[in-house]
Amino acid sequence: MMRTALILAAHGSGDGSAANQLVRSLAQQLDSDELFHEVKAAFNLGAPKFADALNDIRSDRVVIVPVMTSDGYFRDVILPRELARSRRFADVELHLTAPVGTHAGVADILARRAEDALGMFELDRHDTAVIIVGHGTERHGRSRAATISWRDVLEDKSIFARVEAAFLDESPRVEDLTDLAEKNLVVIPFLIGGGHHATRDIPVRMGLEPSADGALPLAGSVDGRFVVCTDALGGDSALVGVIRDLATNLPQPVVGKKKRRTDQPQRLLKRRVLRLGSRRSALALWQARYVAEQLLELGCNVEVVEIDTSGDRDLNRPIHELGSSAPFSDDIEQALLENEIDLAVHSLKDLAVKSPDGLTVAAVLKRGDARETLVSRENAKLIELPVGAVIGTSSPRRAAQIRRFRPDLRVAPIRGPVEDRVRQVRRGDFDAAVLAAAGLERLGLSHEAAEMFSLDEFVPAPAQAALAVQTRAGDDEILSQFKSLDHLSTRRAVTAELEFLRPFESRIDVVAAAYGTSQAVIRLHSRLLTSTGELLWDMILEGEDPNKLAAVALKKAMTSAHSFLEVGS
């Protein structure tokens, strides 16, 4: 008789997280059913990884149930790619079900949870709106489909005055729906894990004060209406039944034993593996995996190669003293030139304005949030910091703009990856630190920001929040893969910004900041300051050609700052 195993595959949030513990608990419950010879939990973030779990399976048939809410990015991209890394991938009969969040029974669970909240807090259903909050992501078109689908189903039931869908990472965002006309709001996190997003992020966005122990449901009066935030979908006891139903009503196998099919997961085994170089930091690896996943969707298989750079090895000296114009990319570029890797992903602002001979920026991806944030010990805003407070930054541009606004503060160098800089503030090494919004968002740390500065208050570094894919200039096979990834509007805008930076790239007495947008024309906001915070130039100009626009801005800026620049040179 064929042995059958069940793998519960989840994105996860790390081994000690509530999300991973929940999935392991579900696996234990299903293992006690004895419907399967083996039941395992597996994770993208946490152990065991998907491929490792499949390697350890002794059964001939494996059913994989994605414990996810959307039929999108992780189910369609991450999971097939990682499973294909297993040595057992081609040897078992493998079935991949729909995600639990798309099962028909989920509608009843969501309706019951909303009705339970009505009863618990004695709310009038005719004056109550229900908001279903999904994660969402712009990386995949179906990431929001399930959330919207259940919104429509509950709306058709006419149980509540209104039902809306909202998202953490897409519009409409959950905080955009705080002004609905209904007197009461019931918010249901359409998430598996009951971690930070459910217990803090969503309640805070709705105006609620999280409890110290993260307990849900959370309720209170916000701006004259009563708001209830329930716990996440994954904590509902009925989810076991949903998984059981998915696992026992099998879809067709994606790979048949002794008979290879021609679907996407199997094709992965036959592709050339592109070696993608990246720094080792959590943010750099997020960026590398993001690009790898875009390439996977284009038919490429990618292996991420982690490389130490001079900027990562020396955390004691300020960045401008490291002796390299690009300390966070130099060793990666050398690996490209020596054919040790095939391509590299960088934060574009980390690259020298001019690429080394033999290398080229093959694609500039769509830009993220270019704004700056303040992370502070007491969640104080910049204006609220006491005189003499210490702000950490290793960026001369950020330091100059801090001094411009608050000359009474003390700026000190802070080094290390983004998450470590946050830790340094939280443990009291600094009163605050200025960090890029995009870095916090990509690491799931946006909640750490006490303040988000406007693009006019703190003009960012040229090319901030833009990702660059760098390759060898003559490698036409690889260059051809990136045509669809190159975001023309972003490339035009950052070209103008970087051209404005070029004359000031190596100066320490003056700092350049620039931010551009590109629609019908390019709109470039450029700023020059002395290292002490004196404003030399600040202007918004428009033009059609990025290089010509930057040249005009430079001419005007140098004329305006002529006296200082002459002395400084």
97-101, 275-279, 320-324, 498-502, range with the lowest pLDDT: 320-324
Residue among 414, 442, 417 at smallest CA distance from 428: 414
Summarize the confidence of residues 325-330 as an average pLDDT: 72
Q: What is the pLDDT of residues 131-181, one digit of tens each?
A: 999 988 765 656 788 898 899 888 888 889 999 999 988 888 888 888 888
Please report, for residues 115, 271, 332, 435, 523, the alpha-carbon distance to residue 289 in angstroms, rounded to integers and kept in the order given: 40, 18, 16, 22, 31
Judged against a pLDDT cut of 90, whether residue 356 lies above it is answered with: no
DSSP code at position 174: G
Res 568: pLDDT: 55
Lowest mean pLDDT of 76-85, 118-127, 262-271, 294-303, name the range. Answer: 262-271
The pLDDT of residue 11 is above 70: yes
Q: What tokens does 123 get?
A: 């709310």
Task: Kindly give the pairing relationship between strand 273-278 and strand 343-347.
Answer: parallel
- pLDDT of 14 above 80: no
Residue 319 tokens, joined: 């960045």
CB 236 within 8 A of CB 270: no
State how far the Cα of 263 lies from the Cα of 255, in Å rounded to an integer.
Answer: 8
pLDDT at residue 266 in the model: 33
**322 within 8 A of 314, measured Cβ to Cβ:** yes
Instruction: Report pLDDT for 258.
Output: 35
Q: 3-class DSSP state for residue 515?
A: strand
The predicted-structure confidence for 208-222, as pLDDT tens digits, reads as follows 988 888 888 999 999
How high is the pLDDT of residue 215? 85
Query: Which of 197-211, 311-325, 447-461 has the weakest average pLDDT?
Result: 311-325
Report all structural domains of the chain as residue ranges with CATH numbers, in order of start: 4-97+250-269 (3.40.50.1400), 109-235 (3.40.50.1400), 271-358+473-481 (3.40.190.10), 372-452 (3.40.190.10), 487-569 (3.30.160.40)
Taking only the tens place, the pLDDT of each residue in 357-396 is 899 999 999 999 999 999 999 899 999 999 999 999 989 9
Query: What average pLDDT does range 225-246 have in this prediction?
Result: 91
- HSE toward the beta carbon, residue 554, CA cutoff 13 A: 15
Q: What value does the mean pLDDT of the chain take? A: 86
Distance CA 550, CA 434 (A): 27
| Residue 257 pLDDT | 39
**CA 341, CA 277: separation in Å to the nearest integer?**
6
Sign of CA pseudo-dihedral 96, 99, 104, 109: positive
500: its two tokens: 């404005």
Provide the pLDDT for residue 314. 64
Which of residues 311 and 305 earns the better pLDDT score? 305
Whether residue 534 has pLDDT greater than 90:
yes
Distance separating alpha carbons of residues 150 and 157, to the nearest angstrom: 11
Average pLDDT value for residue range 465-483: 84
What does the pLDDT read at residue 96?
87
Residue 431 confidence class, pLDDT cut points 50, 70, 90:
very high
